[in-house]
Amino acid sequence: MTLELRNVSKRVGAELHISEVNLTLEKGSQNVLLGPTLAGKTSLMRLMAGLDRPTDGDILVDGKSVVGVPVQKRKVAMVYQQFINYPTLSVYENIASPLRVAGADGATVDRKVRGAAELLKLTPFLERLPLHLSGGQQQRTAIARALVKDAGLVLLDEPLANLDYKLREELRVELPRLFAESGAIFVYATTEPHEALLLGGATATLSEGRVTQVGTTIDVYSRPCDLVTAQTFSDPPLNVVPMQKSGGRLSYDGKSIATPTGTETLADGLYKVAIRPHHLLLHRPPGESIEVQATVSATEITGSESFVHVEHGGSRWVALTHGVYRLEIGDRVAVFLDPTGFLVFDAEDRLVAAPAAAVRQTAGRA
């Protein structure tokens, strides 16, 4: 099936939860809804599922409007951040529940339940109650329930957010594969940019109820159409530096460099340059760069990487570098703004230049 949202808005009281969303999701596609908390991911999913009715606009399945069709009559499965299972039913009966409602015969139920349990490594726990399982197994049960339903639309609303790191890594790899075979439209909501990149497929970024950009995940990441999208798709937060372009030079804080590729043709004026943390360098890059003396305000060391938070002229930046940096709060460090990572936005926050290098780099990584 194909799901199409046309100018969909959802108003609750005076609040606009979803604002004029246009989206087309093809059969068998993998889609990520990326946005911070309260951006409207859940609201949008509920509209897609048919749990809520849009205030305006139309929702079409295979070209036919489904607005007003109750959710039970649509082929939808949904998995939530919380582990939602029937507390008094065994894992087996939990997985079987959508089949039982649909009136499947005993043999079919048994075959499907055991198949799904096998895929999700739940076979040893089929007779247990969900509450006696670990968080990961509870969520696997909920996912198995969504899987047996053979739904055309599978909605996963931050399904891994409440799991610990290891389980999250494990399930994230399995999830798209599990649903890929069924040919369902797979929609995955998350707040984490790296989760979107790992899942791949297409990404729609959300901000304050609006879809700010839709495209293949890598494209949206490397060429965010506006500053809000770039910020949504950056964790740790984006460093935004105001720069002046005049003549052939781009300058900040009295220092200037030759305009990087892609920005030569821009009109002179003030621009916002966004630099992802891994493009804010603590060592001099090979090419030309803007060097700034900044004060260290915090360092977070993960082992393989260090996040160095610095302050310069009233703004806070964060640099992500390899290895362990031993820096004390208050230390003075030289920070290099590397033009190969500049995302340049105009006064209206629209992207006017993204270096080709950034695209190559991300494409190479994925």
Q: Residues 6 or more apart from 236 whose CB is under 8 A from it? A: 277, 307, 318, 320
Residue 1: CA count within 13 A, CB half-sphere:
22
Shortest Cβ 244–another protein spacing (Å): 50
Interface with another protein by CB under 8 A: which range of 23-31, 85-93, 185-193, 318-326?
A: 85-93
First to last CA, the chain: 29
The 10 Å Cβ neighbour count of residue 281 is 19
Shortest Cβ 47–another protein spacing (Å): 13
Q: Residues 6 or more apart from 12 whose CB is under 8 A from it? A: none
Residue 46 contacts another protein per CB under 8 A: yes
Residue 88 contacts another protein per CB under 8 A: yes
Site string for another protein, 146-185 (x = CB under 8 A): ---x------------------------------------
Shortest Cβ 154–another protein spacing (Å): 11
Shortest Cβ 102–another protein spacing (Å): 7
Residue 71 contacts another protein per CB under 8 A: yes
38, 89, 240, 352: residue in contact with another protein (rule CB under 8 A): 89
Residue (of 343, 346, 317) closest to 244 by Cα position: 346
Residue (of 238, 316, 230, 220) closest to 277 by Cα position: 238
Distance CA 353, CA 34 (A): 23
Which residue lies nearer to another protein by CB, 72 or 302? 72
> Which residues lie near another protein (CB under 8 A)?
46, 49, 51, 71-72, 76-78, 80, 82, 84, 86-89, 97-98, 101-102, 131, 142, 145, 149
